[in-house]
Amino acid sequence: MRTAERLTRAAVYGEKLYGIKLWFLHQLLLVLRWYILGSERNREVNQERQAIWLKEKLIELGPTFIKIGQSMGTRADLLPLPFVVALGELQDNVPPFDNEIAFARIEKELGLKINEVYREFELTPVAAASLGQVYRARLHTGEEVAVKVQRPNLEATIKGDLEILKKVADFAERFPQLNENADWSGMLREFNETIHEEMDYAAEGRNAERFRESFKNWDNVHVPKIYWGSTTSKVLTMEYIHGTKVTDLEKLNGQGISPEKVNRLLIRTYLKQLLEDGFFHADPHPGNLLVMPDGRLAFFDFGMVGRISPELQSKMIDAFFHIVGKDPAGIAQDLIDLDFMKPGTDPSSVRPVVEKMFEFHLNLKLKDVNFKELTYDLADVMYDYPFRLPSNFTYIMRALMTLEGIGIITDPEFNFFETAKPYAKEFMLKREGADFRKIFVSKIMGRDDGGKIDWNRTWKLAKMAVKTVLNTAK
């Protein structure tokens, strides 16, 4: 532990001296990885303590380190479980930058003076993060708006950091012991795409409008309107929403709004996003969700979104119902189908491990199956065996674990699988499209590899369809 602390002090000093933050971060993580794997005793005794220490050091080193840490906190295939848990708790919250800089950027981007665009403009930011900060204002036409402005010199800083990080990743991949369980270049590409998408506020506005269109027939969901005349890639002007955080139970109850109903609505919106739309909000923490005074659920901050192909949606439905149906062999096959195994791995070598790991959870009643604990157990398997986390699952896992955390806060009796089950059935049965119908017909007929029909499964699915239709018609 003292060795690791000395390394970090050297990293902090070097960062101040040379300004090369990401180089030292990456070197620190590589050395920590070697140090952690040095002995079984270290793995068993020290990992949790080291993970907390690492999280604290990343916070001290600033917002760029926090972003990298958040990204690595989703990589169960790269880091041991205690590190995944600790880094997943990192919050993107930094002090605001000067108003003069923010106002100058707004005026440069919009080509007008602040008072020519906005009738009123509050001087204190309502929120600040590593990429930008938000002000409350009012347009000359009377609408109350939120104005999000990007931090200065962000593009140059990110570009320099990524160039340095690419050299480090290329260097690390020369050594098998550093590359055994990590795709450094792939992780860098993923982070590069994510950070640049978040930096483009015009893209965020388009994401919000796509989300708004998806939920246009949902009276209980609201997405802020984008004011394109006052929006660029570095300044975003959108409708200002008044509301209560989904986790503020006292205030919600005081307004006569049921937190449990809000949570069920949130789960249903996410199943629609994942299983029907193939386009989802990838960062559903409580700061990005508000309950409006009339009970509508409002979504914010669409800089981080995920996309899911119809093929992946079908595989996810399989996995969900294998968990609900307590089928460990089916779950093991799902992990193979979902590309959780590294290329060249013999599925038969890991299938028994996965089946044994899931047996504990599947012997519980459905209401006692905890998604977060299930995910963490899977993370342990991924780290110790030849598994990897597919890039298209990083956002999905992060979003679902965040949703379960919100659910437990709003309702102590909350269970993700029990809450999601009826809605998952509904979306599975409502799903349209020729390709999906072919898949669904095959599944509902329950054909095995020999082409025979599993009439027992067919009858169960038929009853499920009837129940879903009857419940939907109420």
Residue positions annotated with a catalytic role: 283
The DSSP symbol for 95 reads: P
- Is 174 exposed, middle or buried, given 0-12, 13-18 or 19+ CB atoms closer than 10 A? exposed
Q: Which residues of 235-336 form beta strands (DSSP E)?
A: 235-239, 244-245, 279-281, 289-291, 297-299, 305-307
Residue 471 zone, left/alpha/beta (φ > 0; ψ -120 to 50; rest)? alpha
Q: The tokens 């996003």 sit on which residue?
A: 273
| Token reading at 28 | 């620190």
CA proximity to 138, closest of 130, 146, 148: 146
Q: Is 162 helix (H, G, I), strand (E, B) or coil?
A: helix
Number of Cβ atoms within 10 Å of the Cβ of 167: 11
Q: Give, rounded to a whole angstrom, the gap between the first and last alpha carbons of the chain.
A: 61
Q: The tokens 């930058």 sit on which residue?
A: 97
**260-264: long-range contacts, CB 8 A cutoff, minimum separation 24:** 260/410, 260/411, 260/414, 262/291, 262/295, 262/297, 262/410, 263/406, 263/407, 263/410, 263/411, 263/414, 263/419, 264/419
- Rounded distance between C-alpha atoms, residue 303 and residue 448, angstroms: 43
**Residues 320 and 369: beta-carbon distance below 8 Å:** no
Q: The tokens 């390709």 sit on which residue?
A: 435
- Rounded distance between C-alpha atoms, residue 437 and residue 427, angstroms: 13
**Residues 129 and 92: beta-carbon distance below 8 Å:** yes
CA proximity to 465, closest of 424, 438, 425, 423: 425
- Rounded distance between C-alpha atoms, residue 117 and residue 149, angstroms: 14
**Residues 202 and 90: beta-carbon distance below 8 Å:** no
Sequence-ordered list of residues with C-beta below 8 angstroms from that of 220, at least 6 positions apart, any chain: 265, 295, 296, 297
CA proximity to 282, closest of 71, 135, 129, 437: 71
Identity of residue 153 = N
